[in-house]
Amino acid sequence: MPLQTHATEDTVTETSAVAQRVDSFSHDQLLRCARGELFGPGNAQLPLPPMLMFDRITHISDHGGQFGRGEIRAELDVRPDLWFFGCHFEGDPVMPGCLGLDAMWQLVGFYLGWIGGPGRGRALGADEVKFGGEVTPAARLVSYHIHMKRVIQRKLFMGIADATVAVDGNPIYTASGLRVGLFTNTFESAP
């Protein structure tokens, strides 16, 4: 059975497969993941800020979602001083769409670590991405919803998911066929 984790306000420890999985993560816990302290050395990590593109995971489950195979919900609090607004674009600040896409990949990789997958995460692609809106400094909240379609556990440990991004409750991005792999040797070539 995959390794599971138990998190409290201040600590995250590995426990047996019979322990209950945590179903939400605070910003401090996400920073622990970014430092490699959540899933163990050599396993899935989130990027550190400013590339960490969400402030909390409000729900994660290995069932549910559109396909019944797991889902993740996460949120980013929008503030006018977020780093990308100052440079993209001067006089017309907007969050780059590629950062929303990266957030979706980050969340799929986090899911793979959360279910006990070994190795470091790498984005492998997406079948389709559509942008139908934007995040501006006037927004308050970006919400991510990841629907796991499949997890492959062979030589390559890979997750495939569809996702939506909403700003203040209105969907603005969709992605299908998001692929993230975990690699025990990060110099391995992707399939």
Residues in the chain: 191
Q: Is 88 a catalytic residue?
A: yes
Instruction: Decide if 120 contacts 182 (C-beta within 8 A).
Output: yes
Cβ contacts of residue 101 below 8 Å, gap of 6+? Answer: 126, 129, 173, 175
Q: Which of 6, 88, 145, 147 is catalytic?
A: 88
Closest CA to 108 of 132, 125, 96: 125
Which token pair is 83? 């780093």
Cβ contacts of residue 49 below 8 Å, gap of 6+? Answer: 31, 34
Residue keyed to tokens 């797991």: 70
How far is 76 from 142, CA to CA, in rounded Å? 5
167 Cα distance to chain centroid: 17
Q: Give the catalytic positions in this structure.
A: 88
